[in-house]
Amino acid sequence: MKNIVILISGGGSNMAAIVRATERDRWAERFGARIAAVVSNKAEAGGLALAAAHGIATEIVPHKEFPTREAFDEALAKVVDAHSPDLVVLAGFMRILTPGFVERYAGRLVNIHPSLLPAFPGLNTHQRAIDAGCKVAGVTVHQVTTELDHGPILAQAVVPVLPDDTAATLAGRVLAQEHQLYPRAIAGWLADTSRHIRKF
């Protein structure tokens, strides 16, 4: 069985979309895959309760308890490794990961970003797209590398920018696409057996 570990910091709406897809599309039967655990850096993250309600193991590694980013990432990696991950999925995990953590999971660490990368890496993507006069915006699923919001692109979805859009209205339409694209991109990754090389 291929194990997926999902990292979250908040409500976990993308995680919830992935959980629904695993059940609806029978990932255990089709890909021999399951969500082994959901891990958060915040005990109050709403997504933890949702994961537990679906019978998924949950873990908490509070980042504020660690003196350095490196110390937190090392503790996080130990928790993740306890679930023998084939794929580590960032789903609203609001921490910049150290190079050591990223390299530990090279080729099996993915993220979703609310822009059409390489355009608008970082924060405030929707307002930046509007300010730049973009006619389209969108969402990107990509492999994580040590350079923020870069790495090989696995999938993208395009969303039109409407004349009366605000950052909030555009974000809402992009989020709806995120919930569709992320599960599809992960399913594609699972179906590609050439990717499944564990590195510990």
Residue 194, pLDDT > 80, answer: no
> How many Å is the Cα radius of gyration of the chain?
17
Q: Please tell me the distance from the alpha carbon of residue 172 to that of residue 164, in angstroms, as a whole number.
A: 14
What is the predicted pLDDT for the residue at 195?
55
From the list 112, 101, 111, 61, the residue with the least C-alpha distance to 199 is 101
Domain residue ranges of the chain, discontinuous segments joined by +: 2-195
Per-residue pLDDT reduced to its tens digit, 61-117: 999 999 999 999 999 999 999 999 999 999 999 999 999 999 999 999 999 999 999
Query: Which amino acid belongs to residue 57?
Result: A
CATH tag for 2-195 (out of 2.30.30.100, 3.40.50.170, 3.30.70.270, 2.40.170.20): 3.40.50.170
Residue 198, pLDDT > 90, answer: no
From the list 76, 82, 77, 41, the residue with the least C-alpha distance to 62 is 41
- The structure's pTM equals 0.94
Confidence of residue 196 (pLDDT cuts 50, 70, 90): very low
Give the residue-averaged pLDDT of 16-31. Answer: 97
From the list 79, 82, 120, 86, the residue with the least C-alpha distance to 105 is 86
Query: Which amino acid belongs to residue 152?
Result: P
Hey, which residues are catalytic here? 113
What is the predicted pLDDT for the residue at 192?
87
Per-residue pLDDT reduced to its tens digit, 123-182: 999 999 999 999 999 999 999 999 989 999 999 999 999 999 999 999 999 999 999 999
- What is the average pLDDT value for the chain, to the nearest integer? 95
Per-residue pLDDT reduced to its tens digit, 4-19: 999 999 999 999 999 9
Sign of CA dihedral 141, 143, 144, 146: negative
Q: Please tell me the distance from the alpha carbon of residue 174 to that of residue 96, in angstroms, as a whole number.
A: 22
